[in-house]
Structure 1
């Protein structure tokens, strides 16, 4: 048999073996995941996404920068980003929205596009404001879940954000805030977290996608193996969307020395951006 045919046949066999291995691992792993003393899945640990959702929740191709300007022939990066080169570029993403596109109303879609065109001055992430829900979960920073029968806390590396999550419905939020008010319940082996009372100032990603202060966020965390969670979010907001919509993605557990949060208290990092113009002699 010709060598190329042997190689092709071998690749097919290896692909079948690998697929079978993944299937068997998936079927067995959910039952192998640790549980708490109460019998519920143990979600304790440091988790992180491995996707491009924070760039854009919808499917997108790569481009030179998040902020562009007209060039002699084609658009080029905004002058503030030129020196970043490839570091300031946008990598392609498969998207995490069920159905591909967020079902905006016409007016809200125009607002999203305007947000994207003014990303440099409007994205709250640039100014180190708290990321809001659900964006805090899929930023390129880890977060930690602490829980037992009496306590549920989410701690985020970005900006030191924290969510103390009630274990029963506390009623309407007394005040709107960046991270909102959350409470949780178990649906079988799935942890369901309900969030309202958001201030409507946070974005959902760097592409200008957004929700209003009236948004209702429902997150579902399902343990799928010793090292993975299935994360699903439903967003309801009739003032912005034509209908409720959903996104989903896997979360991966950090292990070894990576199983910890470091500090990224970015408030001090943006002082020059926000207040530098107030210097007696502003820097060039």
Structure 2
């Protein structure tokens, strides 16, 4: 018995050591990586990129569940009647989360509002109505986005809802109006592309789980090439109306290659016409 325990301890120790070595090797490889560069010598971020995580369901760590919209069941919560027919297609996959530290530092009143958002997901999530996603949510939706840039211009094109961002290369000052995608400008920190954004409205969410912000949100994104096919992405969110302190998300972005190196149209405005305006038909369709 003692020999078995000793063997298990040895295997666990070796596994932990191997994990540390792999992380160290990965970090060393990222530090020594030399990215393709523009004429100015700055890293080249051109390409189509996409996440491989479940952050759009919930940026905090979460387990799988039967649906985003639930109701009380005889033993455990079950899907709401509006989404019951979706079955497994409407289920929520588990996610490790992308929030550093695991939890968003909400103020008490804001946490109550987050929970209300979650309960009213079917009628409140802007994604359901094809509203523009805002930043940082546009980055980790289940749709790719394309970066176009040279030394004189920087432009992001998103497959979801045909959203775009035209990034200023010098500080333009305060945003003249609030908007869904905000006003953004870029600078460089050595080989890291830094984008600061503000001027948001308060109508976008951070995910399907009701995590949200106010109209004073400021986002600082950092893009760092770590290999020919990966970017390390970070975003720091500041909002004194909603959070107790600034907080950060981070994740890898993966480059699409070959024939998949393109974005398609996902013009969801027309897909939600029945949802938004079907009741205005002379003879509304049966719900």
Give the TM-score, by structure 1 length: 0.92
Match of 2:210 in 1: 208
Match of 2:237 in 1: 235
Measure how far apart 1:280 and its partner are.
Answer: 1.0
Aligned pair partner of 1:253 in 235, 252, 255: 255
Counterparts of 1:212 and 1:22, CA distance in 2: 37
Measure how far apart 1:20 and its partner are.
Answer: 6.4
Partner secondary structure for residue 96 of structure 2: coil
Measure how far apart 1:14 and its partner are.
Answer: 11
Change (3 A) 1:114 1:23: same
Counterparts of 1:106 and 1:24, CA distance in 2: 42
For residues 90-145 of structure 1, the C-alpha deviation after alignment (integer angstroms, 9 at most, x for no partner) is: 00000010110000000000000000000000000000000001100000000011
Match of 1:155 in 2: 157
Counterparts of 1:45 and 1:273, CA distance in 2: 34
Query: Within 5 Å, which residues of 2 pair with 1:5-44?
Result: 24=25, 27-28=28-29, 30-44=32-46
CA RMSD of aligned residues (A): 2.1
Counterparts of 1:145 and 1:215, CA distance in 2: 23
Counterparts of 1:159 and 1:261, CA distance in 2: 12
Measure how far apart 1:18 and its partner are.
Answer: 9.9
Q: Given that residues 131 and 179 in structure 1 are in contact (C-alpha distance below 8 angstroms), is that contact kept between their aligned partners in structure 2?
A: yes
For residues 235-279 of structure 1, the C-alpha deviation after alignment (integer angstroms, 9 at most, x for no partner) is: 000110001111100101111111101110100000000000111
Unpaired runs of 5+ residues, structure 1, are 1-8
Query: Within 5 Å, which residues of 2 pair with 1:24-103?
Result: 24=25, 27-28=28-29, 30-103=32-105
Counterparts of 1:193 and 1:202, CA distance in 2: 19
Query: Within 5 Å, which residues of 2 pair with 1:258-273?
Result: 258-273=260-275
Change (3 A) 1:230 1:178: same
Measure how far apart 1:40 and its partner are.
Answer: 0.9
Match of 1:195 in 2: 197
Change (3 A) 1:132 1:39: same
Counterparts of 2:66 and 2:141, CA distance in 1: 20
Aligned pair partner of 1:225 in 221, 224, 227: 227
Counterparts of 1:22 and 1:257, CA distance in 2: 32
Measure how far apart 1:190 and its partner are.
Answer: 0.5
Unpaired runs of 5+ residues, structure 2, are 1-9
Counterparts of 1:243 and 1:13, CA distance in 2: 39
Give the TM-score, by structure 2 length: 0.91
Structure 1 runs (4+) deviating above 6 angstroms are 12-22
